[in-house]
Amino acid sequence: MALIWLYSKPIFYALLPFAVYSTFHFLTYLRTNLLPAILPPPPGSAISPGGGPKPQSALSEFIAKFVKNNYDYSMHLVANLELFLWARIFCGAIIFRNSWILLAIYTIFLRTRYSQSVFIREALKGIEVRGNALTADNNIPDGVKSAWNTMKSSVRSFGEFTDLGRYLGGGGGSSGVPKKAQ
């Protein structure tokens, strides 16, 4: 996906998911590689009593706790950012501000993310729940309700059509066993 952004017209908003991922990658690298080199544990404490892991510095433990506590929230944020980015690219393609090819490539990317990430599936389900709640109001015109239902069925049909697990004999690829969250 990074190569696509390199050669297409820049969309600033596309940097936000990369920034979140980069922050967590940097913090993990800092904790596992840089801090042990800069602040090595005392020589006598190479192995803790009982043969457990090496003791870590307070900063390293703080980073590990921060990453553990904020990982799920951040991945939910990234999932919503990626869905919003798709909407931005779609609107941009409609008004000819960006390429339809970019929309197709990002749609394929997002479909792949949907099949691999529980966070994307939850974000899409959250959008569906909020949309259903908004259109359940009696003051909403029937045309808006119809458009919402058409959009939902179109997205669902696209998902079923592009589910490779169905064609490869693996059943429903994205509705089966949960995969590693990314």
94/100 Cα distance (integer angstroms): 8
The pair of three-digit structure tokens given for residue 177, joined into one six-digit string: 């066993």
pLDDT in tens, 56-111: 788 889 999 999 999 999 999 999 999 999 999 999 999 988 889 999 999 999 99
pLDDT above 70: residue 9: yes
Q: In the Cβ-directed half-sphere of 163, how many Cα atoms lie within 13 Å?
A: 17
- In sequence order, what are the residues at sequence separation of 6 or more whose Cβ sits closer than 8 angstroms to the Cβ of residue 131? 148, 152
**The predicted structure's pLDDT at residue 163:** 82
Is the pTM of the predicted complex or chain greater than 0.85? no
pLDDT in tens, 116-169: 999 999 999 999 999 999 999 889 899 999 999 999 998 888 888 888 777 777
The pair of three-digit structure tokens given for residue 171, joined into one six-digit string: 């059943």
117/182 Cα distance (integer angstroms): 5
Q: How many CB atoms lie within 10 A of CB 80?
A: 18
